[in-house]
Amino acid sequence: MRAISGGPNVVEFIAAYRELDRVFVVMNLFPHDDIFSLIHKMPLDETLQYMRNLFIALHHIHRYRVIHRDVKPANFLYNRAQRRYLLVDFGLSHFTSSTQKRKSSVEKSPSAKENVVYSSPIGLPPTVSFV
């Protein structure tokens, strides 16, 4: 995770430590607005900038073969006054090797493709991996 740390619009990881069965990650404080109070009021150009900066962050982490797996407004912080953005919460992220097979179980089953709907990863059992 250090490779992606502090990249464009990506949170900087300062330190991490383990205590029994818990892992703690230390990051810089990032003052941000409540995106849910802004999201329906933002003009189109501001929304496009928000999305553009999200794609910049995703492009950066994907270059290092990191898949976030929990992209949502609550995990892409926005400081409106400073026009700064930050992708956070890599708790469900996954590192892929360059040789790893990239087919999900949905892709393996042609009949399942017709019934696919979006679901947040929070609803998936911990053993399910789509990478």
Active-site residue set = 70
Burial class (CB in 10 A: 0-12, 13-18, 19+), 18: exposed
**Of 97, 15, 4, 118, whose CA–CA distance to 58 is shortest?**
4
Q: How far apart, in whole angstroms, are the C-alpha atoms of residue 97 and residue 112?
A: 26
